[in-house]
Copies of this chain bind each other. A is one copy, B any other.
Amino acid sequence: MPTRVPQERRRRRPTRSGVLLSEDLIVETALRLIGEHGPEALSVRRLGTAIGCDPSALYRYFHGTDDLVLAIADRIIGDAMAGFAPGDDWVASLREMALRVRAGYLAHPRAAAFASYRVTRRENEIRAVETGIGLLLSAGFAPVDATRLYLTFIDTVLSHAAMDAAFQALPRPQREADHRAWHDVYQGLDPVAYPALTTVRQELHSMGDSSFEEAVDLLLEALAARAPGML
């Protein structure tokens, strides 16, 4: 396999168009491509063109498309968590972690869609997991519980954030139509067939909003209730 990759030191040579390649440059260009033209615009060929190098040069930096995707995902995590330090209040700290992850995803909505369910195995992700599990351990949970509950927490945060990001990535008309959809559709329903919806029909407008914060708060309430120190 000629696709060997991440050495520590490199023998860098400018490309035909004068650019000095680097993993950072590639990831940043990929994020820009996705942000401007959507996830489907990310292909090895287009990325090479955007950077100013031959597409195959990218294989000197990444084993393949999947490797590149993981690098992108890890970069998003790193940006989101930059400068975060957990405080004394573990609930508040987890809450801020959640909000930061969501903000990071919303900053790159189209990339978030395919990055959210991957395990990047890279530094930024490892640090985030260390922080999160550390917070749950400080709350008094046993290792086995802290691990499982962190997984549950972060999966909820990631999947919810990804859903918000995917919605954000929709074209404006479709997004607005979906936002109004609940209000529009349910107003004219048969009260006999749909008694519950009829009862809450005044409140259905809120169905278009994000439930992210409420979901995180509910989850943290349940975690706090289960925490050993809370008896």
Known contacts A163-B117, A222-B218; decide if A203 and B144 are in contact (CB<8 Å). yes
Residues 137-171 of A at the B interface (beta carbon under 8 Å): 137, 143-144, 146-149, 151-152, 155-156, 158-160, 162-163, 166-167
Q: Within 8 Å of chain B (Cβ to Cβ): is A88?
A: no
Known contacts A219-B219, A222-B222, then 6 further A-B pairs from the complex at CB < 8 Å, ordered by chain A residue: A126-B186, A126-B189, A144-B206, A146-B196, A151-B207, A221-B225
Contact of A196 with B137 in the complex, beta carbons under 8 Å: yes
Among the stretches A4-12, A41-49, A128-136, the one at the interface with B is A128-136
State A204–B182 Cα separation when bound (angstroms).
41
CB distance from A207 to the nearest CB of B (A): 5
Given A162-B163, A166-B117, A200-B133, CB of A147 within 8 Å of CB of B207: yes
Q: Taking chain A's interface residues, is the majority helix, strand, or loop, or is none over half, making it mixed?
A: helix
Measured between C-beta atoms, what is the minimum distance from A213 to chain B in Å?
A: 9
- Counting every copy of the chain, the complex holds 2
Contacts of A149 in B (CB 8 A): 214
By Cβ-Cβ distance, the 3 closest A-B pairs, closest first, are A134-B196, A159-B159, A117-B166
Chain B residues with CB under 8 A of A167:
117
Binding site for B on A (CB under 8 A): 66, 113, 116-119, 121, 126, 129-131, 133-134, 137, 143-144, 146-149, 151-152, 155-156, 158-160, 162-163, 166-167, 174, 178, 181-182, 185-186, 189, 194-197, 199-200, 202-204, 206-207, 209-212, 214-215, 218-219, 221-223, 225-226
Q: Nearest CB to that of A203 among chain B residues? A: B147
Given contacts A159-B162, A197-B129, contact A211 B178 (CB under 8 A): no
Q: Which of B144, B166, B174, B223 contacts A218 (CB 8 A)?
A: B223
